[in-house]
Amino acid sequence: MNKAELSEVIASKIGISKKQAEETLELITETITTTINTGGEVTLTGFGTFSARERKGRIGVNPRNPSEKITIPNVKVPKFKAGKNLKDTLKGRK
């Protein structure tokens, strides 16, 4: 399912226009992104928690020249931890 299909499902279930559903979905993703980018965390009880963490830099190998070492810098990456309800549903317990 992509973003457009998700917007259609939301619109039909809530009874709003597809455009309103798209705007709402865009606002949700923008809010989550902004929050975790500033070091915050977004928890949707039962579904999961969105956060960001810093992956440490390291020494790697240049794929074009395997004998050459390169420095890979620190990078901020998104993290998602599934909630209990989501885990139970996927395991077939609900």
Residues 82-93 have pLDDT tens digits of 999 999 999 987
**43-94: which CATH number, 4.10.520.10, 3.40.640.10, 3.30.390.10, 2.60.40.1930?**
4.10.520.10
- Tens of pLDDT, residue by residue over 3-35, are 999 999 999 999 999 999 999 999 999 999 999
| Contact of 7 with 27, CB cutoff 8 Å | no
pLDDT value for 93? 78
Residues of the chain with CATH 4.10.520.10: 43-94
